[in-house]
Structures are given as structure tokens and as C-alpha cells.
Amino acid sequence: RSQDETIHYLLLQAINNVYGTVCVSFVGEMSMQERQLLSTCVTQAAMALHRIDLVEKARTSQQYEEADRLKTAILRAVSHDLRTPITIIKSAASNLHNLSNKFTAEEKLEIIQGIEHEADHLNKLVGNLLDLSRLQAGTLTLNHELNSLEEVAGDVAARVWQLTGVERISINFPETMPLVNFDYGLILQAMSNLVDNALRYEPQSSAVHIEGYTHDREVWVQIVNHGETIPAEEHDHVMEPFFQSKNGGQAGLGLPIAKGIAEAHHGRLMLQDTPGGGATFILVLPLNTEGMAFHGAEDTGC
């Protein structure tokens, strides 16, 4: 260190917040103009750090507010969704207990089946909440294997037939549809949620269509219904948990869970209007072209 060298320490301070200290080594005596220039530079740096600090605090505050809003919406909606099946179960159980001798065996069986149905509904609701919490926390474990999306669609259609006794699902996949790496159980759940949502708004006289194809190194699976068209201003919100539409309808957890599962596979869930009316949800998954296989393809050897 030279005898003519001086060390200057300046606080990076803005609006009563100290962000650090600037150490400047200077040879010789600083002129007034140099002192003012150094002070101005340090002040501007401190103000820049202060602005960054304010932006981060605002972002954190917004995240907390959004989390609190989501928590409130979920609690309100879950309380409503839980109340209905619990009321039905309690009423049915009370009738069996207090009026058992007034019911025929067939009526008792019907009441018991009603209790089982509502209990299944409760179990599904709790399962959806757990799935949503795992998706949001990023703790969902995926078991990737080469699978057929057409087989998933077939399983979904079979489940709908078992529940309703009516064939309401139309499936259309090309023969050249490749196998895709995904977690079969999770994609089955996502597609089931999308089909359940479509059936809720589909006229009883028509079918929900599941169509698959490839597009730009991706596979797209469309779930098409011809019910009510979702307003354009609601497209960005309809996949939020318990979204409340303008017409008073309330979505559950099916769509946000399907969206979360798609994103966990590095894919996405899109929404488009169905020509002529209705909504088309598109489940998009990345296509791994390395070692590509096709559903139904046979190994012919060399």
C-alpha cells in the first residue's frame, strides 16, 4: 500500500436500509468533484438494490396473498362438498337405525348402496386433495414406462361404461400412434378427470370424443364435448382449484389435478372451443423419439 493511498468506506444505504459497504482505494487526495461522483454512484447503486428489494417483497407478498386466497377458496369449497355427502350418509344411517322395521329388504339395500356411493364420493374428494397437495409441493413420484395412450383411453371408456351402463365415449387414435414414456396410473387419472368433466356438460344423447395424434415432437390427446362453450375470459382460470364461473357453476379439483399431472410429465393442458359449441381439453405430452415404438408394432427380427 502506497503512502499516498487512502481507503474510503461508504454505506450502501437507501431509505433507512443498509445493503452493504463499498470500499474504494484512491491514490492521492480526492477532489470535491471526485467525492461527489463517488457518492452519486454509491447512492444510485443503493437505490437500485432498494428497488430490487421492493420488487422481491412485493412478489413474496403477492405469493402469500395468492396462497391465502387459494387456501380460503379450497376450505370454503371443500366444506361445501363435504357437507352434502355427510348429510346424506347421516340421514340414511339414521333412517336405518330408527325406521329399520318400516323398510323392505330391497329398500334397505338401496339405502346401503346410497351410503356406499356417498362414502366413495368422500374418499375421492379426500384423494383429490392429497393429490393436489403433492402436485403443488412437487413431491409426486412418477413411474415412467413406455405406454399406449390409446389403452389409457380404452380403460377410461370401460370405467364410464361400468358406472353408467352406456357407451358414451368415442375413441380415435391412428395406427401409427407411438408409445410414450409416462406414468400409466397418473395419466389414467388425468384423462379420467377430463372425461368426467366433459360428461358433466355433454348432452345425454351425444358422446365424448377422445382423439390422439402427434404434433411437433409431442403427442396430443383431445377430449371433446359438445356442451356449453366456456367464455374466453374464463379460459385462463377454469383450471384453478374450485374456480367459480360467472354462471354460478363451480369446478372441483379434477381439472387442476389433470393440469398438474401433465406439467409433472413436462407437458401441459390446453383448452380450446369446440366448433359448433362445447369445450376441447388437450392433454399434451412430450414425445421421446429415441427408441420410438409404436402401439401394436411387432419385432420382425433381422
For residue 28 the three cell numbers come to 492521492
Identify the H or E element spanning 245: none
The sheet that has 268-273: what strands, in order across it? 169-172, 208-214, 218-224, 279-286, 268-273
Amino acid identity for residue 230 in this structure? I
Asked whether the beta carbons of 210 and 172 are under 8 A apart, the reply is yes
More confident residue, 128 or 167: 167
Percent of the chain beyond pLDDT 70? 84
Query: Which element (helix H / strand E) includes 202?
Result: none
Mean confidence (pLDDT) of the chain? 81
Q: Which CATH class is domain 1-139?
A: mainly alpha
Long-range contacts for 201-209 (Cβ within 8 Å, ≥24 apart)?
201/225, 201/227, 201/228, 201/278, 201/279, 202/168, 202/226, 202/227, 202/278, 203/227, 207/167, 207/168, 207/169, 207/170, 208/168, 208/169, 208/170, 209/169, 209/170, 209/171, 209/172
- Taking only the tens place, the pLDDT of each residue in 242-270 is 666 665 555 667 888 888 889 889 999 99
> The dihedral of CA 294, 298, 299, 302: what is its sign?
negative
Q: How many CB atoms lie within 10 A of CB 174?
A: 13
CA atoms within a 13 Å half-sphere pointing along the CA-CB vector of 278: 22
What are the CA-CA distances from residue 138 to residues 65, 66, 135, 141, 253 (Å)?
20, 18, 5, 9, 17
Topology, domain 145-286: Heat Shock Protein 90 (3.30.565)
Residue 76 CA, distance from chain mean position = 19
Cα distance between residue 124 and residue 74, in whole Å: 15
Instruction: Evaluate whether 1-139 and 145-286 have a shared fold.
Output: no
Residue 152 banded pLDDT, cuts 50, 70, 90: very high
Place of cell 382460470: 237
Residue 168 has pLDDT above 70, yes or no: yes
d(CA 3, CA 27) in angstroms, rounded, equals: 9
pLDDT beyond 80 at 159: yes
**What does the block give as the cell for 187?**
395419466
Please state, in angstroms and rounded to a whole number, the distance separating the CA atoms of residues 221 and 154: 13
pLDDT of 104 over the 60 cut = yes
Nearest to 229 by CA among 256, 253, 201: 201
For the cut 50, the answer to whether the pLDDT of residue 299 exceeds it is no
Single pTM value for the model:
0.62
pLDDT tens readout for residues 204-219: 767 899 999 998 889 9
Residue 218's pLDDT is 94
pLDDT tens digits, 58-82: 887 776 776 666 566 556 656 666 7
In the chain, where the domains are located: 1-139, 145-286
